[in-house]
């Protein structure tokens, strides 16, 4: 697998051109078409952009580590004049009228978007099977799901189509597919990356983040897309550093918190053993392991599904068949226009979550569900706050075991929901997290470790992740 750093080196030494990189990327996309990682491939524009990048470089005006590098973006990120579907029939023919801030920043850094990747419809799912455009396949084992919802972006990187990609993470939608496909995926702190132009699933949980084949590449992409945005009131004003420059600090003296609740029942034995082995190695490198407790963590998944669906039910109201998107034919009454357009335009999982969300916000149920879930969210956030008083980073599994078998998500949605058990709490508390492979399970499938950082301390998080990466190489 190529890294962004290697490709940039080759570009700068004239070993290759951006045009060849894009051509190679397009060829690989074509070759791996059966994986169904892409919804749209933007060959023409990508080749034009490559020529421009090559000219810049020839003129000595290369604009940084991403200049001329092919990347992919999840299809819930708006790109002006380009089809942006969120993998839904309701947006099958929707051309975005503007470009998302994160995407624009990636373009401004010279990255070239070769395509828009497949995903769970409206990012609702952990298997990338609920797409209107068909399921994404896991290149490591086609009988297993590639994870989701950003499965297409993960597979695009894992199958060598692009060295980096953007996804969005609402409950684990970057970290989980990264783990399923054996690559690195990161969810930044809530507010670190602008959500403007990201088709919202659950606004208070959504965050855009990078996929890469290595930690440094993720740092490079994050540096390009992060920072305050006047179009997103929830972005933080904290200055954005070049996260790739602070790597290499190692783990000497770092206190690693190990939540006892995460390494208990529910975690597959070989998975647990692999992660514990990695932690033992880090201890040898000078890290201090410390057991911590997150007492309210067992309520995270329930709390997450209430808050996420509540927000989703409102966020998805705009898809009503009136101004854009799918409109049911032959309707003559306003109610029918709404009911039929939405029933025909949304898939089953999306409808399930809209109904659940509407239910938890309904008067009479509001206190028992939404208000309660918000209280739990507060408690979980406080748990982490308290835990971080005595440690620098927290280690955890990314998934309870191997990726689910294809088809589980529709036959047993609860099993899919529970696969988010280690990831959702970060979205609830807004914390940054990164996942990377640290070994293999007995089925020869990569096992990933998840590192959880303090708010806005992505630098520290990335440097521990990189130390882990070097250890397991």
Partner 1 sequence: MSKYYPVIGLEIHCQLATRTKMFCSCEVEVNTTPNKHVCPVCLGMPGAMPVPNKKAVEYAIRLGLALNCEIDLNAMWTRKNYFYPDLPKGYQITQTGGLPVYDHPICKNGWLEVTLDDGSVKRVGITRIHMEEDAGKLVHDLSPEGSHFDANRCGTPLCEIVTEPDIRSPQEAVLVLQKIKQILEYTEVSNANMENGNMRCDGNISLRESEDAPFGTRAEIKNLNSFTNLEKALEAEILLQTLTLDANKEVEQCTKRFDVNNNKTIVIRSKEDAHDYKYFPEPDMVRLVTDPKFVESIKNSLPELPDARRERFVNDYQITAYDAQVLTMERDVSVWFDTAAKQCKNPKILANWVISELLREVKDLENGLSDVKIMPEHLAALVNLIEDNTISGKIAKQVFADMFATGKAPDVIVKEKGLVQITDISAIESIVSEVVQANQGQFDEFKAGKVALKGFFVGQVMKKSGGKANPGLVNQILDKMAAQ
Task: Please identify which of the residues 18, 25, 40, 74 carries the catalytic annotation.
Answer: 74
In the complex with partner 1, which residue's Cβ is closer, 97 or 286? 97
**Which of 16, 281, 314, 410 touches partner 1 (CB under 8 A)?**
314
Binding segment (CB under 8 A) for partner 1, from list 23-31, 131-139, 311-319, 409-417: 311-319
In the complex with partner 1, which residue's Cβ is closer, 189 or 396? 189
Binding segment (CB under 8 A) for partner 1, from list 74-82, 109-117, 124-132, 249-257: 74-82
| Residue 98 sits in the site that holds partner 1 (CB under 8 A) | yes
**Which of 370, 417, 451, 456 touches partner 1 (CB under 8 A)?**
370
Max CA pair span of the chain:
71
Binding-site residue total for partner 1 (CB under 8 A)? 47
Task: Please identify which of the residues 127, 131, 149, 463 carries the catalytic annotation.
Answer: 149
**Which of 4, 91, 251, 445 touches partner 1 (CB under 8 A)?**
91
The yes-or-no answer on residue 137 being catalytic is no
**Which of 27, 143, 362, 443 touches partner 1 (CB under 8 A)?**
362
Nearest CA to 404 out of 388, 391, 421 is that of: 421
In the complex with partner 1, which residue's Cβ is closer, 2 or 94? 94
Residue 358 beta carbon to partner 1: minimum distance, rounded to whole angstroms: 7
| Binding to partner 1, residues 244-303 (CB under 8 A) | none
| Residue 320 sits in the site that holds partner 1 (CB under 8 A) | yes
The yes-or-no answer on residue 441 being catalytic is no
Binding segment (CB under 8 A) for partner 1, from list 41-49, 191-199, 345-353, 438-446: 191-199
Nearest CA to 451 out of 295, 273, 309, 254 is that of: 254
How far is it, in rounded angstroms, from Cα 31 to Cα 20? 16
Residue 2 beta carbon to partner 1: minimum distance, rounded to whole angstroms: 30
| Residue 55 sits in the site that holds partner 1 (CB under 8 A) | no
Residue 174 beta carbon to partner 1: minimum distance, rounded to whole angstroms: 17
**Which of 249, 289, 338, 378 touches partner 1 (CB under 8 A)?**
338
How far is it, in rounded angstroms, from Cα 161 to Cα 2? 10
> Is 392:254 a contact under the CB 8 Å cutoff?
yes
In the complex with partner 1, which residue's Cβ is closer, 80 or 469? 80
- How big is the chain, counted in residues? 473
In the complex with partner 1, which residue's Cβ is closer, 307 or 416? 307
In the complex with partner 1, which residue's Cβ is closer, 190 or 211? 190
Residue 241 beta carbon to partner 1: minimum distance, rounded to whole angstroms: 23
| Residue 203 sits in the site that holds partner 1 (CB under 8 A) | yes
| Residue 79 sits in the site that holds partner 1 (CB under 8 A) | no
| Residue span 216-255 as binding mask against partner 1, x where in contact by CB under 8 A, dash where not | --------------xxxxx---------------------
CB-based contacts of 6, cutoff 8 Å, min separation 6 = none
| Binding to partner 1, residues 419-438 (CB under 8 A) | none
In the complex with partner 1, which residue's Cβ is closer, 103 or 465? 103
Which 3-state string (H, E, C) describes the chain?
CCCHHHHHHHHHCCCCCHHHHHHHHHHHHHHCHHHCCEEEECHHHHHHHHHHHHHHHHCCCCCCCCCCCEEEEECCECCCCCECCCCCHHHCCCECCCCCHHHHHHHHCCCEEEEEECCCHHHCCCCCCCCCCCCCCCCCCCCECCCCCCHHHHHHHHCCCCCEEEEEECCCCCHHHHHHHCCEEEECCCCCECCCCECCCCCCCCEEEEEECCHHHHHHHHHHHECCECCECCCCCCCCCCHHHHCCCCCCCCEEEEEHHHHCCCCCHHHHHHHHHHHHHHHHCCCEEEEECCCCHHHHHHHHHHHHHHHHHHHHHHCCCCCCCCCCCCCCCHHHHHHHHHHHHCCHHHHHHHHHHHHHHCCCCCHHHHHHHHHHHHHHHHHHHHHCCCCCEEEEECCCCCCCECCHHHHCHHHHHHCCCCCHHHHHHCCCEEEEEEEECCCCCEEEEEEECCCCCHHHHHHHHHHHHHHHC
In the complex with partner 1, which residue's Cβ is closer, 79 or 112? 79
How far is it, in rounded angstroms, from Cα 241 to Cα 246? 9
| Residue 1 sits in the site that holds partner 1 (CB under 8 A) | no
> Is 240:189 a contact under the CB 8 Å cutoff?
no
The yes-or-no answer on residue 159 being catalytic is no
| Residue 202 sits in the site that holds partner 1 (CB under 8 A) | yes
In the complex with partner 1, which residue's Cβ is closer, 204 or 281? 204
| Residue 351 sits in the site that holds partner 1 (CB under 8 A) | no
Residues catalogued as catalytic: 74, 149, 173
**Binding site residues, partner 1, CB under 8 A:** 76-78, 84, 86, 91, 94, 96-98, 100, 195-200, 202-204, 230-234, 310-311, 313-314, 316-320, 322-324, 334, 338, 358, 361-363, 366-367, 370-371
């Amino acid at each position: 697998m190529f890294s962004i750093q290697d490709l940039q080196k080759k570009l700068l030494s004239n070993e290759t051109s951006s045009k060849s990189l894009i051509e190679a990327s397009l060829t690989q996309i074509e070759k791996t078409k059966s994986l169904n990682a892409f919804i749209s491939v933007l060959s023409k524009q990508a080749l034009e952009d490559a020529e421009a990048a090559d000219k810049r470089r020839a003129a000595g005006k290369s604009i940084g580590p991403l200049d001329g590098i092919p990347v992919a973006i999840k299809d819930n990120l708006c790109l002006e004049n380009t089809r942006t579907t969120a993998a839904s029939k309701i947006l099958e023919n929707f051309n975005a009228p503007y470009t998302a801030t994160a995407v624009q920043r990636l373009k401004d850094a010279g990255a070239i978007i070769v395509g828009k990747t497949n995903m769970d419809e409206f990012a609702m799912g952990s298997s990338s099977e609920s797409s209107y455009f068909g399921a994404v396949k896991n290149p490591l084992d086609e009988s297993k799901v590639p994870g989701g919802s950003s499965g297409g972006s993960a597979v695009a990187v894992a199958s060598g189509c692009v060295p980096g990609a953007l996804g969005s993470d609402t409950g684990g939608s970057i970290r989980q597919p990264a783990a399923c496909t054996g690559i690195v995926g990161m969810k930044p702190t809530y507010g670190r990356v602008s959500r403007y132009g990201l088709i919202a699933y659950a606004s208070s949980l959504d965050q855009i983040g990078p996929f890469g084949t290595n930690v440094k590449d993720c740092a490079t992409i994050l540096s390009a897309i992060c920072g305050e945005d006047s179009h997103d009131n929830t972005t933080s004003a904290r200055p954005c550093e070049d996260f790739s420059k602070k790597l290499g600090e190692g783990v000497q003296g770092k206190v690693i918190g190990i939540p006892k609740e995460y390494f208990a029942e529910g975690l597959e034995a070989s998975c647990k053993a692999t992660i514990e082995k990695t932690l033992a190695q880090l201890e040898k490198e000078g890290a201090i392991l410390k057991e911590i407790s997150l007492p309210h963590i067992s309520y995270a998944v329930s709390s997450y599904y209430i808050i996420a669906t509540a927000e989703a039910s409102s966020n998805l109201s705009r898809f009503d068949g009136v101004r854009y998107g799918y409109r049911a034919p032959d309707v003559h009454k306003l109610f029918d226009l709404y009911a039929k357009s939405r029933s025909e335009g949304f898939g089953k999982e999306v409808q399930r979550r809209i109904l659940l969300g509407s239910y938890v916000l309904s008067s009479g149920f509001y206190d028992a569900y939404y208000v309660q879930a918000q209280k739990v969210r507060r408690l979980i956030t406080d748990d982490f706050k308290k835990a971080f008083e005595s440690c620098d980073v927290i280690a955890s599994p990314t998934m309870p075991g191997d990726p689910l078998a294809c088809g589980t998500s529709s036959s047993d949605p609860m099993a899919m929901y529970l696969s988010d058990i280690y990831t959702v709490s970060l979205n609830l508390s807004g914390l940054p997290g990164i996942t990377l492979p640290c070994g293999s399970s007995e089925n020869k499938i990569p096992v990933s470790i998840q590192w959880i950082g303090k708010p806005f301390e992505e630098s520290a998080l990335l440097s521990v992740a990189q130390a882990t990466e070097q250890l397991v190489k």
